[in-house]
Amino acid sequence: MATRKKMQQSSEEAGHKPFQALQLELQKAGYQEQNITFSSARAITLGLLCALPFVALWGVIYRLFLIDRAQLSDAGGSAFYIMVLIITAVSVFVHELLHGFGWAIFGKKGWTAIHFNISALMPTCTCQAALTKRQYLAGVLAPFLVLGLGSAAFLLIYPGTVSVVTMMVNFVAAGADLMIAISVCRQPKDVLIADHPSQAGYMAYSKIDVSCKK
């Protein structure tokens, strides 16, 4: 247990060092820093609120138009929960991988700026580079666009227990991403975004207007 904690701490430190170096670099370049991070409780609450409309919409579509041809699973009791656990584990893994793909493809530094970690037995992904709004949004929204909308399409093609659970898991998992994306869209056009290595959210960097300071 102690060894596992040490490994997790060293991994977190490995993610924080490039972030701190990036902070210092941007501050020296004349950027003003704004902390836009959320507590775990707030991220979960707001994330669920962002995901709820999509889950409700597809739940209604399933109930009204798809249930007649639904493939209902016979899994009950522990078998059902194991199925949910497997779907969740696979979805979370692919979810974080898609964050990395989005930032690596649209960012200037590629995979060299992508850092994967395990926190509380869950995989996480952060980008260790300052990105424009569009570049950051590409990585943040990749799981919603691929897994969320993909699972909705899966529900249309193969309605049933598995596809309903998959849809719910992927939209709920993308809820916090949608919350962050909404926040990023409110930032100025020329802002630079640095993903926070251990908290939900980011740091926003804007050029200090020297003329205003004078």
Separation of alpha carbons 57 and 183, rounded Å? 23
13 is a domain residue: no
**Can you list the residues of the chain whose pLDDT is less than 70?**
1-15, 209-214
Separation of alpha carbons 193 and 138, rounded Å? 12
Q: pLDDT tens digits for 66-123?
A: 999 999 887 778 999 999 999 999 999 999 999 999 999 999 899 999 999 988 778 9
What's the pLDDT at 119?
Answer: 80
3 is a domain residue: no
56 is a domain residue: yes
Does the pTM surpass 0.85? The reply is yes
What's the pLDDT at 211?
Answer: 53
101 is a domain residue: yes
70 is a domain residue: yes
What's the pLDDT at 122?
Answer: 86
What's the pLDDT at 14?
Answer: 58
Q: How many domains does one find in the chain?
A: 1
79 is a domain residue: yes
Domain span including residue 206: 37-213
118 is a domain residue: yes
Separation of alpha carbons 34 and 45, rounded Å? 22
Query: What is the distance, to the nearest Å, from the Cα of residue 92 to the centroid of all Cα atoms in its chain?
Result: 10
What's the pLDDT at 13?
Answer: 58
